[in-house]
Amino acid sequence: MRRLWLRWALLIVFVAVLGVAFVNLGNWQLDRLAQRKERNATTIANEQKPIQPYEQVFTRPITDAEQWQRVEARGTFDADHQYVVRYRSNGGTEGYEVVTPLRTASGVVLVDRGFIPLERGTRIPSAAPAPPAGEVTVVGHVRRNEQGRRAATTPVGNQMRLINSNAIATTLPYEITSGYIGLLTVQPEQQGGFQPIQLPDLSEGPHFWYAVQWFLFTAIG
């Protein structure tokens, strides 16, 4: 009889521990849902703001809350310092991106000139398509530095996997602003089959149903 009560007590403790864990996991998914809703609302609000001169936004390191605003910049591309960003995806299509510094009257800002799709099995080229010559006007999204391992952010030759202005600055003979512009349009137009980078997924994702799942597991337990 004593052994039976001990087994019941251990079973109750085990179920209680599982219940607490499942409830916490459900609440974690609800927190992620709230964060995603907030990010989506910020993205939509920023993208709908009027286009601003880039000098008014790039006054400090760019944060998540400032991303996806539209800015305009005028200057000339530095075709001697171009970077190929490997292994990128845009709307489910695989390819690469090209980053080129833009010299303006108030400084130098990196411009992600867009995405170039590649067919499966095609090698990523070592040289990027040349930018338009002379003075250009670009309109694009405000983007913050991408974060990752040093091996991914530091250019080797002229290639890297993540766009980080601090890492790229170490390879340039001049200073650049923090963050970069994700190109939407440029005048005169550029050649090379570039596509604008799509906005992030604005759906709410599966977090709500994951939370329901964890709460159901609690009830079953």
- Dihedral angle, C-alpha 137, 191, 70, 165, nearest 10 °: -90
Q: CA-CA distance, 211 to 90, in Å (whole number)?
A: 29
Alpha carbon 107 to its chain centroid, in Å, reads: 24
Query: Quick check: 45 pLDDT over 70?
Result: yes
Grade residue 125 by pLDDT with cuts at 50, 70 and 90. confident
pLDDT of res. 8: 72
Residues above pLDDT 90, as percent of the chain: 59
Write down the residue that tokens 């990752």 correspond to.
148
Residue 207 structure tokens = 């977090």
For residue 155, give every residue at least 6 positions away whose Cβ sits within 8 Å of its Cβ, in sequence order, or none: 83, 167, 168, 171
Mean pLDDT lowest among 16-25, 127-136, 177-186 = 16-25
- Per the model's pLDDT, the better-predicted residue between 57 and 47 turns out to be 57
- Return the closest-CA partner of residue 210 out of 16, 17, 33, 18: 33
